[in-house]
Structure 1
Amino acid sequence: MMETTEQTHYFVPSPSRWPLVGSAALFCLGLGAALTVNSLGVGKVLLALGFAILLWMLFGWFGDVIRESLNGAYHGKEDMSFRWGMGWFIFSEVMFFAAFFGALFYVRTISVPELGDMAHKLLYPDFTAAWPLSTGPGITQHYEAVAAWGLPAINTLLLLTSGATVTWAHWGLIQGKRKQLAAGLALTVLLGASFLTLQFVEYHHAFTELNLTLAAGAYGMTFFMLTGFHGLHVLLGTIILFVVLLRVLRGHFDEHNHFAFEAAAWYWHFVDVVWLLLFVFVYWL
């Protein structure tokens, strides 16, 4: 019978310069954004510098973590900490989107019906309590709502398929099938990029043909805030999965040690679920 050895210590990395570098990046980004908004030319330079420093920090910091992992620094306790950390991060993202969904539900179920009742008819005689909000003089600019059964439906199919491909890749990893792992990840990255491309086409159509912008009342505001932030998360998730794919091609991960892949898959499934809610409550209903 094999004896199991209990982990006797928790890995503590050496002091790192990367938090200080990240602080410098955020300072340049914040100051650059403020100066750019005020039409000062140096603002764009600071923005570019901030993004460059941020990329340097990301490559350097994650590179250190990857090297520590490959050198065997992480064991059971560290792995559990990573899992709790990723779990709480996704929970914070859930709360982030919950705030925007809450704003959408408040407008649709409370504000709009209240503004359409008899008590407000004298103030807003042309207002109709319907969603998407009707347009008219003095209410908001004229616009058209985005139809659900076009590009949004195609994007829904793409994301649902990507959830299946990343799961297929996970099965390949657990079973030691490296080609299946790489193929599943590559397909997931391709589907994520396709989603972003179609969302760009949808936004262009909304701006140029539907006259739908952030200024288009409550509908335009909630539409772009929810779909825009979700698109940003899809972009981040696609980049993460692409990095994981590059690591797979370099021989990283095995059947037992692959938390980075699992974290990316968790995040991607979260993005899928948020999109399903978006499709139902923003596009469809």
Structure 2
Amino acid sequence: MKQPLAYIHPAAKIDPSVVIDPFVTIEENVEIGEGTRIGSNVTIMSGARIGKNCRIFPGAVVSAVPQDLKFRGEDTVAIIGDNTTLRECVTINRGTAARGRTVVGSNCLIMAYCHVAHDCIVGDNVVMSNATQLAGEVQVDNYAVIGGGALVHQFCHIGPHVMLQGGALVNKDIPPYVKAAREPISFAGVNSIGLRRRGFSSDTIREIQEIYRYLYLSGLNNSDAVERIEAELPATPERDEIILFVRNSKRGIIKGYV
């Protein structure tokens, strides 16, 4: 671990197996788990909690203070799960008083030049393609795949197993299991290929497709569609997850394509 051309604060808690390349800066109040590799010119600032077997490529900055005028120097953290890769020049800001933490889960691939703002919660097995930008307090659920150059508005929620088109401007919530594309961003079908790859059965995929027929093809508003789904379709984990997502959406879900 010892690297004479890196600055490592003596109070940082770093597993002896961590590999640190030249010109890295690691501040106080940092924890890094075993097997992680830190590339050259990476800056890891106070409040970083980095898991095991991560790969952080040159130029990344983890746990910088939030770009939020309401931030008053609160003691907050930025948490990176195990086996996650941060490519070149990724920036992840730590939390504010709103949530106290920014989280990127385990087994994620965050490609070059992505930004994860304060208080975002990114789940496990998420792929964020190059130059994706998440504003503050965005939530991205497990197995979502975000195309390159996407811009996600503050407070938006992207559900699990979503496939989001590159270059998208996201200002509404995107419900679970769907593809979102076009301009303005719209429902573009169920992410059936991604679901098959992750072991969902054909019957389950057909059930999800039927749920979205009610939401997007029936002519009903969202509240009425959810009531019909609950009354007419059998209860399954996927059905209940979609219903809960729609009911809890604060920004409203994306519209169907017109």
What is the TM-score with the length of structure 2 in the denominator? 0.21
Q: Which has the higher helix share?
A: 1
Higher relative contact order (CA 8 A, sep 6+): 1
